[in-house]
Amino acid sequence: MVRLTKGDVAPNFELESDEYKHYALADFKHQNVVLYFYPKAGSSVCTLEAKDFQNNLERFAKEGYTVIGVSPDDVKALQEFRESNDLGFVLLSDPEYTAHKLYGAAKEHFKDGEKTYETIRSTFVLDGEDRIVFAGYDVNVNGQIDELLEQIEKIK
């Protein structure tokens, strides 16, 4: 399984958003990005995590960062998630785990001889040159925002 670390080039991908727009990571070239992978829109922990990002969106923007959330949910589920939680950042649908696999944010399983995946809750801080400056796997949502902002502060 891929595990990205500080200094690695962030893999490019293209996914559909909850607004039916296609985004590639390359669309955010020359922008600092916080990219986070979460398992299920609407679940209690994922909702807490998304609300934490939303409540701190201004802090990230002040530091020059755009927040992007990625999950295996379909576009409709992401629309409902955005609306019910009043989220103001990009949500991307990755039902085939394409970006998840590129970032090492997917765990492979075999069930009844069929390959399936589950999300490894992960967060990445990317600089404007698409370099990873922080990679966190198996992230604990409690205290995550403060840790990310500390990492961002170290980059300055």
Q: Which residues are catalytic?
A: 46
The closest of 38, 41, 77, 34 to 56, measured between CA atoms, is: 34
Residue 125 CB partners (closer than 8 Å, separation 6+): 32, 33, 34, 35, 65, 132, 133, 134, 148, 151, 152, 155
Residue 99 corresponds to which tokens in the numbers above?
Answer: 């970006």
CA 11 to chain centre: 13
